[in-house]
Every structure is written in structure tokens, then in C-alpha cells.
């Protein structure tokens, strides 16, 4: 589980904080717990981040940076087969950065400058996505583009919101391979044809 190169106390604190905040929320997690999970002493939080809130801000910054990276990669696909590649990218990112996504989920439940920024970043990605597809003629006519973007944000976050209940309710993780496949098949269908008769 552990990496070969030993992480610094600072890095361990960030990872531990991200995981615990994601699981139990900001106010549900104590600094002693974070320090214990990171295997460092409490004092180090203050030394590096000034306070518990400072630690959260740093976590927010890093997660936002990850989202931005996902966004820039989306833009790179511009000239080619945008849609499928972007979805694949997102799926792959979610698998690789599950902790970040679950943190994102929990952060959005608390109203902080960081969570507002996180949401804004997500919206930027999705607006961009809609834009690209419109320019390439993949969008149907007379679509409410703003709501399409919001819709994409919601459906990106949806599985993360349900994930904590998924095992009990569906017998598997939302991010299990089969579940992801079923979901992307369904979403693909909905986005191109819908699933109800008019």
C-alpha cells in the first residue's frame, strides 16, 4: 500500500486529511485523528498549514489543480474524436483519483470558498465540453447549452454522491468496472436518444 519513497509529514497530512474529510466531513474529523492517520504529531498541522482550516485550504487547492488538469486534457482532444475520449479520460481519472472525487463530493456539501471554486471548475469543464461539441456539430439543434452543462456536472457527481450507499443498495461499488460500463452505456443512450417516448 505504502509508496517506496517515504512521504514527508506534510504530504502524509494532506492525504490523510483528504481521506478523512471525504469520509466524515470537515467538522466530523479531529486534528488528532488526522495526525494519527498520517502517523505524525498534531503540532505538524500547525507548523505546515497554520491551522485545521489551513490544511483544508491546501487540500482544496490540490484537488482544484487536479480538476484543472482534467480540464486541460479535455481541451487537448479538441481537434479529434472529442466525445468518447473525454468520457474515457474522465472515467480513467475517477479510477485513479477516487479519493479526490470523494473529497469533492463531501466538500460540495460544505459552503467554503474552496467548495465554490471546485464547483466553478467543474462547470468550466462542462461548458467547454458543450462548446466543443457544438462547434463540431455534435450538438442537436436548439439545446439549452447552460443547462446542458449543469446537467453534465450533476451526472458527473451523481455516482460519487451515491457511492457510500452503493455497496449496500446495488451490491457493488459505483466505480466497479461493470457498473461503470453499464452506466456509460445508459448515459450514452440517454444523451443521444433519451429513454422515454414523447
Which parts of this chain interact with a copy of itself (CB under 8 A)? 24-28, 83, 105-106, 108-111, 115-116, 119-120, 123, 133, 137-140, 143-144, 146-148, 150-151, 153-155, 157-159, 161-162, 164-165, 168-170, 182-183, 185-187, 189-198
Specify the residue, 45 or 64, whose C-beta has the smaller distance to DNA.
45
Orientation angle between helical segments 52-76 and 31-38, nearest 10 degrees: 60
Q: Rounded to whole angstroms, how far apart are CA atoms 195 and 180? A: 18
Measured CA angle at 122 (ends 30, 92), to 5 deg: 85
Specify the residue, 9 or 57, whose C-beta has the smaller distance to a copy of itself.
57
168 binds, among DNA, a copy of itself, none (CB under 5 to 8 A by kind): a copy of itself
| C-alpha closest to that of 183 among 195, 193, 175 | 175
Burial 153-162 (b: 16+ CB within 10 A, else e): beebbebbee
Specify the residue, 29 or 133, whose C-beta has the smaller distance to DNA.
29
Specify the residue, 66 or 106, whose C-beta has the smaller distance to a copy of itself.
106
135 binds, among a copy of itself, DNA, none (CB under 5 to 8 A by kind): none
How many CB atoms within 10 Å of residue 35? 20
Map grid coordinates 450507499 to a residue.
165
Residues that bind DNA in the complex, under the rule CB under 7 A: 8-10, 27, 29-33, 35, 39-48, 50-53
Amino acid at each position: 500500500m505504502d509508496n517506496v519513497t517515504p512521504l514527508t509529514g506534510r504530504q502524509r497530512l494532506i492525504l490523510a486529511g483528504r481521506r478523512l474529510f471525504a469520509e466524515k466531513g470537515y467538522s466530523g474529523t479531529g486534528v488528532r485523528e488526522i495526525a494519527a492517520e498520517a502517523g505524525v504529531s498534531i503540532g505538524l498541522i500547525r507548523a505546515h498549514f497554520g491551522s485545521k482550516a489551513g490544511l483544508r485550504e491546501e487540500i482544496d487547492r490540490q484537488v482544484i489543480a487536479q480538476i484543472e488538469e482534467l480540464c486541460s486534457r479535455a481541451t487537448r482532444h479538441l481537434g479529434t474524436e472529442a466525445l468518447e475520449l473525454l468520457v474515457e479520460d474522465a472515467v480513467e481519472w475517477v479510477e485513479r483519483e477516487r479519493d479526490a472525487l470523494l473529497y469533492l463530493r463531501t466538500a460540495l456539501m460544505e459552503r467554503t470558498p474552496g467548495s465554490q471554486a471546485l464547483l466553478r471548475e467543474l462547470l468550466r469543464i462542462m461548458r467547454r465540453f458543450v462548446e466543443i461539441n457544438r462547434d463540431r456539430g455534435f450538438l442537436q439543434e436548439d439545446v439549452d447549452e447552460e443547462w446542458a452543462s449543469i446537467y453534465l456536472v450533476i451526472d458527473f457527481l451523481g455516482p460519487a454522491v451515491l457511492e457510500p450507499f452503493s455497496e449496500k443498495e446495488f451490491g457493488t461499488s459505483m466505480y466497479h468496472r461493470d457498473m461503470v460500463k453499464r452506466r456509460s452505456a445508459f448515459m450514452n443512450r440517454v444523451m443521444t436518444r433519451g429513454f422515454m417516448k414523447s
